[in-house]
Amino acid sequence: MKKKKEIFIVFKNIFVSFKKEIKKVNSIILLNNFCSKFLGKKSVLSFYFKKIKKFDIIKRKKYSIILNDFKKKINNIILEKKKQIYNNSQNLKKKKVFLDFSLSGRKTKIGSLHPITIVINEIKKIFYHYGFEIFYGPELEHIYYNFDSLNVPINHPSRSKNDTFWFNPDYVLRTQTSSMQIRVLEKFSYPIKVIVPGKVYRHDYDHTHTPMFHQIEGLIVNKLISFSNLKWILKDFIKKIFKKKIKVRFRNSYFPFTCPSAEMDIQNKFGEWIEILGCGMVLQCFKNFDIDCNIYSACAFGIGVERIAMLKYSVSDIRYFFENDIRFLQQFS
């Protein structure tokens, strides 16, 4: 066995050659072969480790320190080289453009408006061109505006707890946007044309009714307003919202706050008549205001937004609009 100084010089030379050779290594396979050469069973390092086993404990410590020090340095350089080779390979992969034409296309998913919002916006746009202003009202409504001022009798079924969501004896979740007729007449001067979109609430739940749905109330106060004006506006509205000519009819009906009152039906492709909205001439509401009925007249209408949307998009069940099934909503994106 050589002396300590001689061993140090030998390994120093080996280490110098090691650093020169490792620079030429550029793959993991070559690096593994390189490791075997300097750290394997047949390497110079292993040869000296086997030799020092025969020494006494003092000499073994001296020589093992030298050998382990060189082994640690070699290992550190090999680890750094391994990281470098890995990073280089990843960078090359990023630079290469690979297209697999057998894969399906990747679509960018974007959000969209809810179908009910789409219909409300279309309705607002149509009435905006007619010269209507847009107002909004409270969903928690006082019974004066929701019932009393609209001439709804005390014993009317709509006042019962089976039909209406009562908050307390004085307030309800509004059952109709018609309550805004009184608020508009209280706050604004006339002549006036307004529509009031909003949510309304009733105790109903089946394929054509839900506890919450959307209405758009319309009110016109002006001189010489007649039922003929009301019919023309609603007929033209139906033609624009469905973007085609549709047969319509008006049937006599009853609403506590309009007289005469009517319901408007449209004919579907099967020849069936479907109710689409209610309307009439406003007289009862004028009693609470200083409006000369000999000069001014008024008409009103209430449009069910979900009913329009169901017919427009051929939806058979109103509940689809509120179940948030992504497969249903994707049709409108």
Does the pLDDT of residue 181 top 60, yes or no?
Answer: yes
Structure-token pair, residue 206: 């089946």
**Which of the given ranges, 15-29, 62-76, 206-220, 272-286, has the highest pLDDT on average?**
206-220
Task: Report pLDDT digits (tens) over 33-42.
Answer: 767 766 667 6
Same domain, 163 and 42: no
Does the pLDDT of residue 312 top 80, yes or no?
Answer: yes
Q: Please identify, among 36, 64, 95, the residue that sits at the C-terminal boundary of a domain.
A: 95
The vertex-106 CA angle with 102 and 112, nearest 5°, equals: 155
| CA gap 260, 67 in Å, rounded | 109
Same domain, 326 and 190: yes
Same domain, 156 and 80: no
Q: Is residue 133 part of a domain?
A: yes
Q: Is residue 311 part of a domain?
A: yes
- Domain of 178, CATH number, reads 3.30.930.10
User: What is the pLDDT confidence band of residue 11, given thresholds at 50, 70 and 90?
Assistant: low
Closest CA to 304 of 284, 280, 274, 325: 274
Q: What does pLDDT average to over the chain?
A: 83
Q: What percent of the chain has pLDDT over 90?
A: 29
Same domain, 129 and 233: yes
Same domain, 9 and 121: no
Inter-CA distances, 65 with 1, 15, 52, 61, 69, Å: 16, 16, 11, 6, 6
The vertex-176 CA angle with 171 and 180, nearest 5°, equals: 80
| CA gap 172, 210 in Å, rounded | 17
| CA gap 279, 223 in Å, rounded | 18
Query: Which residues span the domain enclosing 15?
Result: 4-95
| CA gap 181, 198 in Å, rounded | 13
Q: Which residues is 301 bridged to in the sheet?
A: 218, 279
Same domain, 234 and 151: yes
| Structural domains of the chain, count | 2
φ and ψ at 64, to 5 degrees?
A: -65, -30
Q: Which residues is 252 bridged to in the sheet?
A: 262
Using a 10 angstrom Cβ sphere, with 0-12 exposed, 13-18 middle and 19 or more buried, the burial of residue 38 is buried
Same domain, 55 and 125: no
Q: Is residue 109 part of a domain?
A: no
Structure-token pair, residue 155: 């014993």
Contacts 24+ apart (CB under 8 A), 75-81: 75/39, 77/18, 77/19, 77/22, 78/22, 78/31, 78/34, 78/35, 78/39, 81/22, 81/25, 81/31
Task: Report pLDDT digits (tens) over 67-119.
Answer: 777 777 777 877 887 888 778 777 777 666 666 778 777 777 777 889 999 99
Same domain, 209 and 289: yes
Same domain, 233 and 167: yes
Residues whose CB falls within 8 Å of the CB of residue 316, separated by 6 or more in sequence, listed in order: 207, 310
| CA gap 96, 171 in Å, rounded | 68
Q: Is residue 105 part of a domain?
A: no
User: What is the pLDDT confidence band of residue 332, given thresholds at 50, 70 and 90?
Assistant: confident
Q: What percent of the chain has pLDDT over 70?
A: 83
Full-prediction pTM beyond 0.75? no
Same domain, 187 and 228: yes
Q: Is residue 110 part of a domain?
A: no
Same domain, 170 and 239: yes
Task: Report pLDDT digits (tens) over 230-269.
Answer: 999 999 999 999 988 889 999 999 888 888 899 999 888 7
The answer to whether residues 279 and 230 touch, using CB atoms and an 8 Å cutoff, is: yes
Q: Is residue 100 part of a domain?
A: no
Same domain, 149 and 84: no
Sequential DSSP letters for 1-38: ---HHHHHHHHHHHHHHHHHHHTT--SHHHHHHHHHHH
